[in-house]
Amino acid sequence: MQNPSPSPSPATATGAPTNPTTTTGATTNKGKAPASAAQHSSAEASLKRKRGFFQKDLQHMMYGFGDDANPLPETVALVEDIVVEYITDLVYKAQNVASKRGKLLTEDFLYLIRKDLPKFNRCKELLSMNEELKQARKAFDVSEENLATANDQV
């Protein structure tokens, strides 16, 4: 990748202090109520099994988004940890939104992501495509059935 002339960088651009963020994938939930600690520890337990779980998927993805054709393994591992945490937090929050109703619905996710327009629109697009596919499959099944009964009557 070519580096264009450096833009006037703010003071923070020069090696901003790396916060002790989750590089191992364990979330630091300090001072949480005991009830959620159990859920937290089960989420942690599942995280511990995750070494290289999404490695191949992520390698392709990162390349597609701009990384090297062969991303560094340590980078992929870090991205995996961060993404798994993202998914965990996302689903956890969606559950909270859904808790009054009981069942987890896509609306809960759409509500959480409402301010991030690209993500919101993409989800809507995929969901409507999925709906179209379901309708198409239904129509196909119905016509198959009609063909079968028609043949029986011959």
Partner 1 sequence: MWFVFLSSGSALLQTFTEEQMKRYEAFRRSGFTKSKLKKVVAKIVENQKVSEEINIVVSALAKMFVGDLVETARVVMTEWQHTGPIRPCHIKEAYRRLKLEGKTFKRTVPPLFR
User: Judged by CB under 8 A, which of 11, 35, 103, 154 binds partner 1?
Assistant: 103
H or E segment at 87?
helix 73-98
Kindly state the smallest distance separating residue 119's Cβ from partner 1, in Å: 5
Does position 136 interact with partner 1 (CB under 8 A)? The reply is no
- Classified as helix, coil or strand, 75 is helix
Tell me how many residues contact partner 1 (CB under 8 A): 74
Site string for partner 1, 5-24 (x = CB under 8 A): -xx-x---xxxx-xx-x-x-
Does position 92 interact with partner 1 (CB under 8 A)? The reply is yes
Distance CA 11, CA 67 (A): 26
- Classified as helix, coil or strand, 14 is coil
Closest CA to 128 of 113, 97, 106, 103: 106
Restricting to residues 51-80, name those near partner 1 by CB under 8 A: 53-54, 57-58, 60-72, 74-75, 78-79
